[in-house]
Amino acid sequence: MYLTEKEIFNQYEALKKTYEYFMEKAVVIKGIKENKFNSLTFIGSGSSYCLSKSGEISAKMQLGIPANSLAAGDLMLNFSYYDNYIRNTIMIILTRSGSTSEIMLAVKDVKDKFNIPCISICARNNSDLSNIVDLNLEIPWAFDESVCQTRTVSNLYTANLLLLAIMANNQMLIKEIKNAIDNGDKFIAQYTDSLKKIAQSSSWNKVVVLADFELQGIAEEGALAFKEISRVPSNYHHILDVRHGPMVMIDEKTLVIMASSPEGFSYQTDLINDLKGKGAKVVTIGNEDEKYNNVDLHISIPVFQNYSVRGIPFIFVVQAIAYYKAIFKGINPDVPDGLDPWIKL
């Protein structure tokens, strides 16, 4: 068994531990609000920067305050331009290793100049980052030994949601996260064969991932997973935005994976008709009543009041297809050529 396979298909075991850990840390997390701050700023590199984009939107929804997301490398290189982002914010750092150079250097600059509260969510114990932040939340069971992040991604995404839910005292969000996790293994068993069949089709060699709202960041990370794991060209777009230029690149060699919205069914129906008219293979992920008649596969998920919770089952779908496509192509998904698990400058 490849490490990537193990980490994708065992991710709900890790998610259960992440949920329990954050519930144990609830009192400490609630104390974050005792700090004086005007906004939240999420930073990360690569996959964790994608997740930061989802975190930005979720923070605005849950706490009703301004929020930003920044690539750590951008902040590091262009630090002097971001003064107004950083003043009076709380910084939340998402990281697998806690040792990526861009993140370390950016956080050191932030602490030296502004001394603002910094909170890290890290998949390693006693990382370099843990020595300079104010609160380090460690989920080492989520650490990916393989180069490409999969289990780490789903756990960082969920951990970030739990952090915000606890800060906002949103008990419904906490309950729905637990529900998604508790039903995860059943969900995997239900759809693995169908996802493998989609992946092993030779009719597609490029991917477009579509999603909106709080899923946009994790969907962008899903597109990145295809590049890293299966060496397939891939892009992310907002659902209806795919018509604004990207449609010209969609053809019979394209797999479209769409996290459907519970709103605007007719608009999405028309879009899917357009995609199918271009010859694309289409997979949708959404509630049972969001099932579209002419898609190649619909993945049904429970009804969640909190849109962000859809991201938990969604990312497994993308990761599983990317993994099985790599196997179909004879690629070792654990060792992507030219990619390091984290970057040291």
**pLDDT of 336:** 76
- Residue 218 sits in the same domain as residue 143: no
In a domain, residue 302? The reply is yes
- Residue 52 sits in the same domain as residue 33: yes
- Residue 146 sits in the same domain as residue 245: no
Cα(132)–Cα(72) distance, integer angstroms: 16
| Listed residues 119, 153, 179: the one ending a domain | 179
- Which CATH number does the domain housing residue 191 bear? 3.40.50.10490
Instruction: Look at residue 292 and give its three-state secondary structure.
Output: coil
In a domain, residue 51? The reply is yes
**pLDDT of 36:** 86
- Residue 193 sits in the same domain as residue 296: yes
Cα(320)–Cα(4) distance, integer angstroms: 10
Q: Are 335 and 3 in contact (CB under 8 A)?
A: no
**pLDDT of 343:** 58
DSSP-assigned letter for residue 248? G
- Residue 263 sits in the same domain as residue 316: yes
Residue span of the structural domain in which 45 resides: 3-179
Cα(149)–Cα(337) distance, integer angstroms: 15
| Listed residues 138, 154, 179: the one ending a domain | 179
Question: How many domains is the chain partitioned into structurally?
Answer: 2
- Residue 128 sits in the same domain as residue 213: no
| Listed residues 117, 151, 179: the one ending a domain | 179
In a domain, residue 57? The reply is yes
Cα(252)–Cα(10) distance, integer angstroms: 33
Helix (H) or strand (E) holding 185: helix 184-199
In a domain, residue 90? The reply is yes
Record the tokens describing residue 131, joined without a space: 């020595």
- Residue 124 sits in the same domain as residue 197: no
In a domain, residue 342? The reply is no
- Residue 112 sits in the same domain as residue 170: yes
- Residue 145 sits in the same domain as residue 272: no
Cα(133)–Cα(136) distance, integer angstroms: 6
Q: What share of the chain is helix, strand, coil (3-state, %, to 5)?
A: 55, 15, 30
- Residue 254 sits in the same domain as residue 200: yes
Other CB atoms within 10 Å distance of the CB of residue 290: 20
Q: Are 298 and 286 in contact (CB under 8 A)?
A: yes
DSSP-assigned letter for residue 101? H
In a domain, residue 67? The reply is yes
Per-residue pLDDT of the chain (345 residues; tens, 9 = 90+): 899 999 999 999 999 999 999 999 999 999 998 988 999 999 999 999 999 999 999 999 999 999 999 999 999 999 999 998 898 999 999 999 999 999 999 999 999 999 999 999 999 999 999 999 999 999 999 999 998 999 999 999 999 999 999 999 999 999 999 999 999 999 999 999 999 999 998 899 999 999 999 999 999 999 999 999 999 999 999 999 999 999 999 999 999 999 999 999 999 999 999 999 999 999 999 999 899 989 999 999 999 999 999 999 999 999 999 999 999 999 999 987 766 665 566
Buried b (16+ CB within 10 A) or exposed e, 162-190: bbbbbbbebeebbebbbebbebbeebbee
Cα(160)–Cα(183) distance, integer angstroms: 20
Q: Is 330 left (phi over 0), alpha (psi -120 to 50) or beta?
A: left
- Residue 235 sits in the same domain as residue 310: yes
Question: What pTM did the predictor assign?
Answer: 0.96
Torsion over CA: 4, 342, 212, 10 (sign): positive
- Residue 160 sits in the same domain as residue 42: yes
Please name the residue that has the structure tokens 């993945």.
Answer: 299
Percent of the chain with pLDDT over 70: 98
33, exposed or middle or buried, with CB in 10 Å at 0-12, 13-18, 19+?
middle
In a domain, residue 321? The reply is yes
In a domain, residue 97? The reply is yes
**pLDDT of 339:** 65
**Distance spanning both ends of the chain, measured CA to CA:** 32
132, exposed or middle or buried, with CB in 10 Å at 0-12, 13-18, 19+?
middle
Cα(320)–Cα(297) distance, integer angstroms: 14
Cα(154)–Cα(311) distance, integer angstroms: 8
Q: Are 94 and 102 in contact (CB under 8 A)?
A: no
